[in-house]
Chain A
Amino acid sequence: MDMVSMGLLAAMGALATVAGASEDLESDVGSQSNPNSQVQLAAQVGHPHRIYNKAISGEPPSNALYAALAAVTASVLMSGYGMNAFFAIAIGAVAAAIFNGIFSVTAYMGRNTSQARFNQYVYLDVLRTHTTTIMAHAYITAFCVVTISYIMTAPWLPIQHPFPMPLVAFIWGLAIGAIGSSTGDVHYGAEREFQAYPFGSGLNAANSGDIVTKAEAGLRSSIDNAWFCARFGGPVTGMAFGLTVFLDNWRTTIFDPATQGWLAIVTGVVIVILFNIYNRILEIRSKKRYGPYPEYAGDIEA
């Protein structure tokens, strides 16, 4: 393990942390993925709203698309036209952000139009204000993910992954979407959409779709979800993705996959076991401290 490999590993971990945070905030501004079903349901249970409804197939496939598109564009510019990697990846990320914007706009229009019988309008100012925020976050995500893929595959750098860059970016895109969907969305979905209900009460099926449509002043839109989720959901997603990228590459940096492959595999298994034990301890501690709720004592006065 030389200093260059260690430095690259640290850079990849840092890039992944930023990418994870921006990915989660991007999906939260648009209410993509898990919280989306509640936004979709809201109008149907009598709560038309001004919240963005970005239904793009779940986060893993959509992020795989942005990452792959950015990587292909960068790869074409680098291999076909000899462009510098930094600018090529930046241009690729712009292409990905534009695709993201197009898919977001059509999803918002389509979903809201298909709720016409419930009086759900299509608000063009929501589109104008939110889509740019979404695209900006998507740009950061795509840039970071493709940079990680470039570091992993560039022929002049030590890692030299055997897969071509677009394929590596595609896989990291799937991974970041899956992590963003499972880690960050929980914070947005339970805490933001249902903040009218007592903290920690869970979501009763009867309350489905009864989301908060009014804000501190005026009507709630999704634009301040980035502010709200940047406090916890975004950073925690960043940490999850950063750790994934860092630990996964760390074990193959300290152990050479060609000669010490089995040691790298064993290290991976040990890491998974350690995380399982840690999660179990965390779960037991949380239950002891905050729950369980043996009987319902009525609504708590706010």
Chain B
Amino acid sequence: MSVAAGGGESKIDKTKLMMYGLGGGVLGIYLTHVLNTITGSGYFSFLAGLGVIAAVVMGSDAVRRVCSYGIGTGVPSIGLMAMGMGLVAAMFGLSIGGVAGPIIGIAVAMGFGYFVGLLANKIIKMNIPVMEEVLMTLGGAGAIVLIGLSVAVSGEISYPLILESVVNTGYIAILFIAGTLAILHPFNANLGPDETQDRTLVHTISTGALAMFAAGLASLATIGAAGLLTVVIAVIIWIKSFMWYFALVKRDSSGVVGTGLLPEGGL
């Protein structure tokens, strides 16, 4: 492990995180679609936002694993790459798959990620052992985040509707960048030799909630007042996770002080 980039031991297993991320993401997207269609309303759009939070936790852990190999300044780049792969695959999946679109999009994104990882390791010879697996996870996370946030804005899985309410309105811009920062910011912000997995992942829940909040804001114009539910739930999750994060900062830090001079030896 590189000291500069940090990345301590993982308390939570990556397989478990992937299971929750993929399962939670897909479940959230489909529950939104089914419940909104049955009730004929947009009140269940927040479920897609909750799915997105599960997926960003999975993505953030993948960023953490690959960046522990010393890719310090590459943290933002790898987050943007994840989202780029996710965006292309998500739109492809939605355009050909109908209701099965999200599954196709996620599968294509993961295949895409694995292929890019292969190129990085075999052709460019980066020789990072986890590269293929991490980029596969990141591609999947990117696709879930984009589809999830899009469905939270449009209210159901429908390519024409997503085109009309998310792409043509330009809301895709905030979904893309808020989702990207939700995945890359936590590890980037906690980078250092004393980084801990639980603090980074709790931070991820809060950035995921911010992405959900942004989608909720956009959905106020598309699904109307029902979008307010997404906004309120995102705010509650953010407050809770931020308080949890601050508690972990107090636990891990050498000192959280109101004010004061530098520690001994600092001057």
Seen from chain A, the residues whose Cβ lies within 8 Å of a Cβ on chain B are 37, 40, 44, 46-50, 55-58, 61-62, 64-65, 68-69, 71-73, 75-76, 79-80, 95, 99, 102-103, 106-107, 109-125, 163-170, 213-214, 219
Contact = CB atoms under 8 A, between A and B. Distances in A.
Interface stretch (B18-26, B104-112, B122-130, B166-174): B166-174
Given A80-B221, A125-B258, 11 more contacts: A65-B177, A72-B171, A79-B169, A106-B245, A109-B246, A114-B193, A122-B253, A123-B257, A124-B256, A125-B259, A213-B266
B249 A164 contact: no
The 9 tightest CB contacts between A and B, nearest first, are A114-B192, A164-B170, A166-B170, A80-B221, A170-B173, A110-B190, A110-B189, A125-B259, A167-B170
Interface string B139-174: 000000000000000000000000000001111111
- Report the contact-size class of chain B (Cβ under 8 Å from the partner): 35 or more
Decide if the interface of chain B is mainly helix, strand, loop or mixed: helix
A214 B193 CA distance: 25
Contacts of B221: 75-76, 79-80
Given A55-B189, A57-B181, A106-B245, A72 B259 contact: no
B189 A72 contact: no
Contacts of B257: 121-124
Contacts of B168: 164
Given A61-B80, A76-B221, A119-B263, A169 B189 contact: no
A57 B173 contact: no
A56 B254 contact: no
B266 A68 contact: no
B170 to A, nearest CB: 3
Given A72-B173, A109-B249, A119 B194 contact: no
A114 B266 contact: no
B65 interface: no
A274 to B, nearest CB: 32
Interface stretch (B9-17, B43-51, B210-218): B210-218
A48 B178 contact: no
Contact of A121 (B199, B217, B263): B263
Contact of B188 (A55, A117, A166, A167): A55
A61 B180 contact: yes
B254 A55 contact: no
Nearest to A163: B170
